[in-house]
Amino acid sequence: MKMSIKRVIITEFGSPDVLKIVEEKSLPEPKSDEVRIRVMTTSAAFTDTMIRKGKYRDVKDKPPFSPGYDMVGVVDKLGESVTKFKVGQTVADLTVIGAYSEYICLPEDRLVAVPEELDPAEAVSLILSYMTAYQMLNRTAKVQSGQRILVHGAGGAVGTALLQLGKLLDLEMYGTASESKNELVTSLGATHIDYNSEDFIEKVLSMTNGEGVNFVFDAIGGDVLKGSFKVLKPGGTLVSYGFYQSIMGKGGNVPLDFIRLLFWKIWPNKRSATFYSIGSLRNKHEDWFKEDLTELFNLLAQKKIKPTIWKRMPLSEAKRAHELIEQAAVQGKIVLIVSNQT
Ligand SMILES: NC(=O)c1ccc[n+]([C@@H]2O[C@H](COP(=O)([O-])OP(=O)(O)OC[C@H]3O[C@@H](n4cnc5c(N)ncnc54)[C@H](OP(=O)(O)O)[C@@H]3O)[C@@H](O)[C@H]2O)c1
């Protein structure tokens, strides 16, 4: 029986240097409605770097705390009133914070069962990145087979997920990414546009006979967001879901982008705009969250999807993982391995 646990914490908001490993002398104890989970995998995502910098609106906690937006683990102990799960079962959650830890206690109502046969590294890749992609395609945009989409940041974690799920839906796809990600984006079935050397508006319009696309998925913001609205077909929708440029200090203004989105939504010009947030949609529709994650686990079990895992790194290398994300070096996803035993 393990008597101490290791966690990675944020000591204060700031650079990757604020991520530190700490050891605690006892395991956390589950409350009555909670289960204790031995975490197998979590991930390092751009969103975790925002939380680390104190730039994520939905996290009000003050350091020190453990980040970790998602996790897959094994149930290790049950609270007195738990009925839905058994010790030894594999479970998943979108934790938002807390998963950079060997053990975590979570309310049973939040958890989704993970099929035993899945690789915990592939399974964890589905919780934040694929869910975001899946819900934007199916719940927000409600895309139809044969429609045309433009994905910005197409070589990133959400971008690669959008392309893989888009291919399953038989979409015509265009993806912006730097030249280093050309091969990856092309291999996932999209036409690659190098945003550093090409004007994506001109390129998309010229490749679609001036028509444009049905949907744009944009987490970049700023000038890119303005261009995204310009490449929509009549009847098309811009789905905004992040502000990469502004978070990275490369321009853009988040409040102004929200005003633009609102204006485009209400302005009667046959095109529309909306914002997707995984947390807000889960708060409104916990049932959709569980249904959609279960469907993604099924797609993985049926080998219809295969997450692009760029690196598997031990939790102790969380700092390095965050540095690589902020350098845009990652192609797809970085998974953090917390424990190897299943
Ligand atoms: N709203 C939500 O619920 C939600 C959920 C998940 C994630 N997000 C947001 O989604 C965004 C992406 O997350 P992620 O985990 O996929 O991050 P990621 O893996 O770091 O991918 C971001 C990608 O964007 C590319 N990029 C940077 N500047 C660009 C530009 N001007 N044009 C096109 N591509 C550019 C980067 O690589 P290259 O420059 O090399 O191409 C990188 O591959 C983040 O802003 C995150 O906060 C939102």
Question: Over 80: is that where the pLDDT of 86 sits?
Answer: yes
Q: Which helix (H) or strand (E) holds 224?
A: helix 223-230
CB-based contact 88:75 (threshold 8 Å)? yes
Query: Identity (one letter) of the amino acid at 322?
Result: H
What is the value of pTM for the model shown?
A: 0.98
Which CATH class name applies to 5-125+294-337?
Answer: alpha beta
Instruction: Give the three-state DSSP class for 168.
Output: helix
Indicate if ligand 1 lies below 6 Å from the C-beta of 175: no
| Helix 318-326 and helix 46-53, axial crossing angle in degrees, nearest 10 | 100
Indicate if ligand 1 lies below 6 Å from the C-beta of 220: yes
| pLDDT score, position 252 | 87
Query: Identity (one letter) of the amino acid at 216?
Result: V
Q: In this predicted model, what pLDDT tens digit does every residue of 46-55 receive, in sequence order?
A: 999 999 999 9
Q: Using pLDDT thresholds of 50, 70 and 90, give the confidence band for residue 13.
A: very high
| pLDDT score, position 341 | 63
Q: What is the CA(290)–ligand 1 centre distance, in A? A: 24
Q: What is the CA(131)–ligand 1 centre distance, in A? A: 15
Compute the CA torsion angle 157, 36, 135, 193 (nearest 10 deg): 0
From the alpha carbon of 245, which atom of ligand 1 is closest?
28
Please work out, in degrees rounded to the nearest 5, the angle formed at the alpha carbon of residue 41 by the alpha carbons of 40 and 42. 140
| Helix 223-230 and helix 200-207, axial crossing angle in degrees, nearest 10 | 20
| pLDDT score, position 269 | 84
CB-based contact 49:325 (threshold 8 Å)? yes
Q: Using pLDDT thresholds of 50, 70 and 90, give the confidence band for residue 267.
A: confident
Q: In this predicted model, what pLDDT tens digit does every residue of 194-214 receive, in sequence order?
A: 999 999 999 999 999 999 999
- What does the domain layout of the chain look like in residue ranges? 5-125+294-337, 145-276
Looking at domain 145-276, which of 3.40.50.300, 3.30.70.940, 3.40.50.720, 3.30.590.10 is its CATH number? 3.40.50.720
DSSP one-letter code for 96: S
How far apart are alpha carbons 205 and 201 in whole angstroms?
Answer: 6
Average pLDDT over residues 102-119: 97
For the chain, list the strands marked E by DSSP. Answer: 5-10, 19-24, 34-44, 71-78, 90-93, 103-107, 112-113, 148-151, 172-177, 191-194, 213-218, 232-240, 272-275, 309-314, 333-337
Indicate if ligand 1 lies below 6 Å from the C-beta of 103: no
Residue written as tokens 């947030």?
277
| pLDDT score, position 135 | 98
Q: CB within 8 A of 107, min separation 6: which ones?
A: 31, 33, 34
Indicate if ligand 1 lies below 6 Å from the C-beta of 68: no
